[in-house]
Amino acid sequence: MDVRVIGLTGGIASGKSTFAAELRALGAPVVDADQLARAAVARGSAGLAAVVGAFGAEVLGEDGQLDRRRMAARVFSDPAARARLEAIVHPTVRALFRKELARLAARGEPLAFYDVPLLYEAGLEREVELVVVVWTPREVQLRRLAARDGLSRPEAEARLAAQTPLDEKAARADAVVANDGAPAALAGKAARLLSDLRAGLTRRLPNAAAPRY
């Protein structure tokens, strides 16, 4: 049996991870792309050896693992470097994802969410059945980000400026989860979304409005 793959994305401090946790609490499988990316460059892996070959041993921490902060600093403002890193990591991530889907199919799971922060940026909307975007107002997003990471407002604004705006992602989505109220409300929204998916919710038609939760 094929597993329906539902893309789940959002933006920094949008509440996507909290919503993913609510989906898991309801028994829905959620595959975390960030976890797959970490596994792709785990200590001793061929992926990590390739990263060191491309960027040098200075991207390693004292424990021999990839220092993600150093790596991020190397590629943040260098598109060519970022492309080299993605060429190393992405094929392994895709292979790990296929392996996880096979495991879920063998277990009889009808659907799974693929939690990908940069889903649209990576062009992965073509590889999932539909895309769910967790959206929050920009001002709320700024406040959450500044409080969470101890940033000044200008620093938080710079972080957001480096990402595709949430409003733009929501405009492209097949379904939008509005995280603009109490965090506890996300549990009910997760339940309603799952119910609709099990009832046949699929990719929205062109020019049709995406359902909002």
Is 16 annotated in a binding site? The answer is: yes
Give the DSSP letter string of 13-64.
TSSHHHHHHHHHHTT--EEEHHHHHHHHT-TT-HHHHHHHHHH-GGGB-TTS
Residue 13, annotated as binding a ligand: yes
Q: What is the pLDDT of residues 121-153, one digit of tens each?
A: 889 999 999 999 999 999 999 999 999 999 999
Tell me what pLDDT residue 144 has. 93
The dotted CATH code for 1-29+110-213 is 3.40.50.300
What stretches of the chain show up as alpha helix (H) in DSSP? 16-25, 33-40, 46-55, 68-75, 79-106, 138-149, 153-161, 166-172, 185-198
Asked if the model's pLDDT at residue 15 lies above 70, the reply is yes
Q: Please name the residue that has the structure tokens 């769910």.
A: 132
Which pLDDT score, from 0 to 100, does residue 157 have?
Answer: 92
Q: 65-69, long-range: CB within 8 Å, 24+ apart, which pairs?
A: 66/41
Q: Residue 1: which pLDDT band, with cuts at 50, 70 and 90?
A: low
189 is in an annotated binding site: no
84 pLDDT higher than 70: yes
pTM for this predicted structure: 0.91
The predicted pLDDT at position 162 comes to 82
- How many CB atoms sit inside 10 A of residue 28's CB? 21
Q: What is the model's pLDDT at position 146?
A: 94
Amino acid making up residue 123 = G
Over residues 13-30, the mean pLDDT reads 97
17 is in an annotated binding site: yes
Instruction: Pick the range with the lowest mean pLDDT from 4-18, 65-79, 160-174.
Output: 65-79
Indicate the pLDDT class of residue 159, thresholds 50, 70 and 90: confident
For residue 207, give every residue at least 6 positions away whose Cβ sits within 8 Å of its Cβ, in sequence order, or none.
none
Report the C-alpha gap between 168 and 124 in whole angstroms.
16
Measured in whole angstroms, how far is the alpha carbon of residue 97 from the centre of its chain? 13
Tens digits of residue pLDDT in 27-78 = 999 999 999 999 999 999 999 999 999 999 999 999 999 999 899 889 877 8
Q: Which two tokens stand for residue 26?
A: 């309801």
**What is the per-residue pLDDT for 183?**
82
- pLDDT of 163 reads 87
